[in-house]
Chain A
């Protein structure tokens, strides 16, 4: 059974640009959550999608958005990138509200 797949693995963007990250959950999992990991703030919850609906949102500015498709794949978008958005972005997939399996992450560097 394939795990959670995140693409791309690495990204370099310049300030002011926008970026889209992709997450394919484990087959049969309908919940996808996104987290930002930085050395200073640790792991912080961004948002969760279930059956194409955003079910919960963390405390991030509106520049961070996401969506989920009918096949449960999810994308997150960050607009008007700032240097402080440099981080490892992790996606987690769950079938029910029990285990959460993470992908390898996308490392975003904003220069």
Chain B
């Protein structure tokens, strides 16, 4: 099973904020990532955060990291229908491998 856990589904209304949560288990992880995957496509890097930071903001995206609880979240402000996709949380371990969660399917309703 995955070392990284995410809820599988999230549904929001267009214009609302979306918050996707993730927990990881490796306290020595150096970087944590959020990727977006649309049907039939590869993974698009949305943002990443170094483990010594607790917040990173990039336009509509805000990443929060609680290292004590090993909890990572991605907030998407003003969610649009084009944001509908699967969102993956990932951690980079000491061996440089990346471990992914199962993905959260975000559905944005008009």
Given A97-B30, A98-B48, A104:B100 Cβ within 8 A: no
State the majority secondary structure of interface residues on A: strand
Find the A residue at minimum CB distance from B30.
A97
B residues lining the A interface (CB < 8 Å):
2, 30-31, 33, 35, 41-45, 48, 88, 90, 92, 95-103
Instruction: Report whether A33 and B97 are in contact in the complex, using a CB–CB cutoff of 8 Å.
Output: yes
Find the B residue at minimum CB distance from A3.
B42
Instruction: Report whether A103 and B31 are in contact in the complex, using a CB–CB cutoff of 8 Å.
Output: no
Q: How many A residues are at the interface, by size bracket?
A: 20 to 34
Find the B residue at minimum CB distance from A9.
B40
A residues lining the B interface (CB < 8 Å):
4, 6, 31, 33, 35, 42-43, 45, 48, 55-56, 58, 90, 92, 97-105
Instruction: Report whether B96 and A56 are in contact in the complex, using a CB–CB cutoff of 8 Å.
Output: yes
Task: Give the residues in chain A near B102, CB-CB below 8 Å.
Answer: 42
Task: Give the residues in chain B near A56, CB-CB below 8 Å.
Answer: 95-97
Instruction: Report whether A45 and B97 are in contact in the complex, using a CB–CB cutoff of 8 Å.
Output: yes
Q: Shortest Cβ distance from A103 into chain B, in angstroms?
A: 5
Task: Give the residues in chain A near B101, CB-CB below 8 Å.
Answer: 42
